Structure 1
Amino acid sequence: MGKLRAFYIELENQQGVFFPGQIINGRLVIELDAEMKMREISLTFKGLAHVYWYYTQQNSSGHYQTSTYSASEKYFEHSQPLFGEGMGMSDDNRLPPGQHAYPFSFQLPPNLPSTFEGEVGYVRYTIKGTIYKPWKFDYTTKRPFTVNALLDLNTQPNSACWTRNQQSKFLCCLCCKSGPITGMLKLDRVGYVPGEAITFNAEIQNMTSSVCGVHVKLYMTTVFHATTKSKTTTSEIARVVHQDIQPGETETWSGDSLVIPPLPPSFLVGCKIIDINYFFELIVEPPWPATSLCVPLLIIIGTTPLRTVVQQYQAQYGISTPQQPALPAPGPAPSAPPVEGASLMSDLPTPSYSEWLFGKTNIREEEDSEHTTGEMDYTPAYTYYDWSKLSQIQ
Structure 2
Amino acid sequence: MGKLKTYVITFNGDRQVYNPGEVVSGLVIVDLAEPLQCRGVRVKFQGKAYTHWTESEGSGDNRRTISYSATKYYFNDEVTVWGKQVGDRSGENPTLPAGTHQFPYQLQLPMSGLANSFEGTVGYVRYTIKSNIDRPWKFDHTTKAAFTVTGIQVDLNRIPNAMLAQQDEDEKTVCCLCCASGPITMTASVDRSGYTPGEKIKVNVDVNNVSSRDILEMEVSLVQKVVYTAYRHGSGRAHHRHSKNKVSILNGPGCQPNGTINWRDQYLPIPPIPASGLEGCEFIDIYYVVHCEADVSGTPFDLDVSIPVTIGNIPLQQLYGFDFSNVAYPPIPGGPAPSAPPPPLSDYPPAEAALPPPPSYEAIYSGQTSIKDDDDNDYTRGQLDFAPRYSYYNWDAHKT
Q: Calculate the TM-score normalised by the size of structure 1.
A: 0.88
The answer for unaligned runs of 5 or more in structure 2 is 232-237, 342-347
Distance 1:103 1:281 in 2: 49
Name the counterpart of 1:187: 190
1:333 and 2:338 aligned: yes
Q: Give the residue type in structure 1 aligned to 2:389.
A: A
Distance 1:49 1:331 in 2: 22
Name the counterpart of 1:207: 210
Select between 12-21 and 103-112 the one with higher mean Cα deviation: 12-21
Q: Deviations over 1:114-148 (max 9, x none)?
A: 11111111111110011111222211100011112
Is 2:15–2:336's contact at 8 Å kept on the other side of the alignment? yes
1:156 and 2:159 aligned: yes
Distance 2:23 2:119 in 1: 23
Select between 206-215 and 242-251 the one with higher mean Cα deviation: 242-251
Change (3 A) 1:107 1:346: farther
Match of 1:220 among 209, 224, 247: 224
Is 1:141–1:373's contact at 8 Å kept on the other side of the alignment? yes
The sequence identity of aligned pairs, in percent, is 34
Is 1:266–1:276's contact at 8 Å kept on the other side of the alignment? yes
Q: Paired residues, what number?
A: 377
Name the counterpart of 2:394: 386
Name the counterpart of 1:80: 79
Change (3 A) 1:217 1:62: farther
Change (3 A) 1:132 1:21: same
Q: Give the residue type in structure 1 aligned to 2:42.
A: S
Select between 133-142 and 174-183 the one with higher mean Cα deviation: 174-183
Match of 2:130 among 118, 128, 131: 128
Name the counterpart of 1:95: 96
Name the counterpart of 2:345: none
Name the counterpart of 1:147: 149
The answer for unaligned runs of 5 or more in structure 1 is 315-321, 337-342
How big is the shift at 1:167?
1.4
Q: How does 1:281-300 map to 2 (within 5 A)?
A: 281-300=291-310
Q: Deviations over 1:233-276 (max 9, x none)?
A: 11111211121122112322111101111101111110011110
Distance 2:15 2:275 in 1: 19
Change (3 A) 1:157 1:368: same
1:272 and 2:274 aligned: no
Name the counterpart of 2:234: none
Q: Calculate the TM-score normalised by the size of structure 2.
A: 0.86
Is 1:194–1:385's contact at 8 Å kept on the other side of the alignment? yes
SS at match of 2:397: helix
1:10 and 2:18 aligned: no
Select between 11-20 and 44-53 the one with higher mean Cα deviation: 11-20
CA-atom RMSD, angstroms?
2.8
Q: Give the residue type in structure 2 aligned to 1:200.
A: V
Name the counterpart of 2:363: 355
Q: Give the residue type in structure 2 aligned to 1:43.
A: V
Name the counterpart of 1:168: 171
